[in-house]
């Protein structure tokens, strides 16, 4: 069922209802994690945070899955966050918010291959040295299998819902296909059932920027200077895909940066948008590992939910969950047509699916910044589950 929304309006602040101080936790597993590549990862650790309380029968748990640059710190102020900033989706998680922690027990973990507490290329291997490129290649399916260990560890047999935007939506869909008996609802937001050639191309351009940085040193830069310049450029290119032409034009246009007239120089940013991208790159390298960026973007490229089953329909035939699918009009990274294929197939299979297409000018990142419209779509859906 497709429900059109009204055009986007200004969002409201939820700071007054923050979940407050949250402790980052770590679950360590000696059980081998068998990866799609044929490699085995053992032991491994998942960093995670939880919000709200698990009810008596453990039936109110919602797993939020993060996107490429995210981590476990989805809301509040984490003891493990060095900058003491609120979580990346603080506007959505908390008392009375979209993911209402007065009702739900919300979980978010850092993916395998990440660099915010979960085992990844910057982690120490059993020999005491950083894995670097010895870390095995991982897939979205591997990330989800690692999350399954965490959900088992928390004593939860069935999740009320699994959801996320972008790569988070991929993980949610993977849960529904691979473990259909353990998921009640899927929140598939600004995502795709398979990575397109265009998206793979953008990711590869970012990886090449990292490879070209002399400090990358074949991935063996731990203990020395990091490939900050290459990672910054990769982030700049990716950030452009998260926005839209309309939002960039509205926010920056051709406004100059600190100059009344064009200085005609290569020595410094001339346009405000150049300065903005430079800032985004510099900020990113302070919290993210370049090798993790390589591994996670590869995992995104590998994603095709129908590949293991011969078709999208065959994969979705395994599902038993109800679905909420949300797309945005200005998202050119994962256009609405990608999700429309998913919706049509689910409907043909007789699954319960609600589809919301939101008219929003902010591009792919609309699922993070369009709080009011996400409340109308996701919040109202969750109030009725």
> Annotated catalytic sites, by residue?
166, 331, 364
DSSP-derived 3-state class of residue 344: helix
Burial class, 77, CB count within 10 angstroms (exposed 0-12 / middle 13-18 / buried 19+):
middle
Token pair 């995104």: residue: 300
Residue 249 has a CB neighbour count (10 Å cut-off) of: 12
Report the greatest alpha carbon distance in the chain: 66
CA dist 255 to 47, 119, 169, 276, Å? 42, 43, 35, 12
Would you give the distance in Å from CA 268 to the centre of its chain? 32
Enumerate helices (H) and strands (E) in the chain, giving the number of each. 12, 15
Q: Alpha helices of 154-191 — where are they, by DSSP H?
A: 167-178
Is beta strand 2-4 parallel, antiparallel or unpaired with respect to 93-94?
Answer: unpaired
Handedness of CA 111, 366, 341, 320 (dihedral sign): positive
136's tokens: 């095995």
Residue 365 has a CB neighbour count (10 Å cut-off) of: 23
Residue 273 has a CB neighbour count (10 Å cut-off) of: 19
340's tokens: 């429309």
DSSP-derived 3-state class of residue 318: coil
CA dist 163 to 3, 85, 184, Å? 19, 23, 11
Phi, then psi, of 324 in degrees rounded to 5: -115, 120
- Picking from 115, 123, 116, the residue whose alpha carbon sits closest to that of residue 43 is 123
Rounded-to-integer distance, Cα 180 and Cα 177, Å: 6
């Amino acid at each position: 069922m497709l429900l059109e929304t009204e055009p986007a309006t200004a969002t409201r602040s939820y700071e007054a209802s923050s979940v407050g101080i949250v402790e980052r936790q770590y679950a360590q597993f000696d059980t081998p994690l068998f990866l799609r590549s044929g490699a085995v990862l053992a032991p491994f650790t998942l960093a995670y945070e939880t919000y709200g309380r698990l009810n008596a029968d453990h039936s109110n748990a919602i797993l939020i899955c993060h996107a490429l640059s995210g981590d476990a710190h989805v809301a509040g102020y984490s003891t493990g966050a060095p900058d003491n900033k609120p979580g990346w989706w603080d506007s959505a998680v908390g008392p009375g918010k979209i993911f209402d922690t007065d009702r739900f027990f919300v979980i978010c973990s850092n993916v395998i291959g990440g660099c915010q507490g979960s085992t990844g290329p910057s982690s120490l291997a059993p020999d005491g040295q950083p894995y670097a490129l010895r870390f095995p290649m991982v897939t979205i399916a591997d990330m989800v299998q690692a999350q399954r260990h965490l959900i088992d560890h928390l004593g939860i047999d069935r999740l009320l819902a699994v959801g996320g935007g972008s790569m988070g939506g991929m993980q949610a869909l993977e849960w529904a296909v691979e473990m259909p008996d353990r998921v009640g609802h899927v929140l598939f937001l600004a995502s795709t059932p398979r990575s397109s050639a265009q998206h793979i191309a953008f990711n590869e351009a970012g990886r090449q920027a990292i490879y070209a940085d002399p400090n990358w040193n074949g991935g063996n830069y731990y203990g020395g200077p990091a490939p900050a310049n290459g990672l910054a450029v990769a982030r700049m290119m990716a950030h452009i895909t998260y926005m839209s032409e309309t939002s960039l034009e509205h926010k920056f246009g051709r406004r100059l940066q600190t100059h009344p007239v064009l200085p005609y120089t290569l020595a410094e940013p001339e346009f405000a948008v150049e300065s903005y991208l430079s800032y985004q790159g510099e900020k990113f390298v302070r919290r993210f590992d370049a090798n993790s960026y390589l591994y996670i973007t590869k995992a995104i490229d590998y994603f095709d939910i129908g590949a293991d089953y011969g078709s999208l329909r065959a994969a979705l035939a395994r599902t038993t969950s109800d679905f909420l699918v949300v797309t945005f009009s200005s998202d050119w990274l994962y256009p609405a047509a990608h999700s429309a294929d998913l919706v049509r197939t689910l409907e043909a299979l007789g699954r319960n699916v609600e589809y919301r297409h939101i008219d929003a000018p902010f591009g792919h990142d609309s699922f993070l910044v369009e709080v009011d419209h996400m409340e109308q779509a996701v919040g109202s859906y969750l109030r009725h589950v």
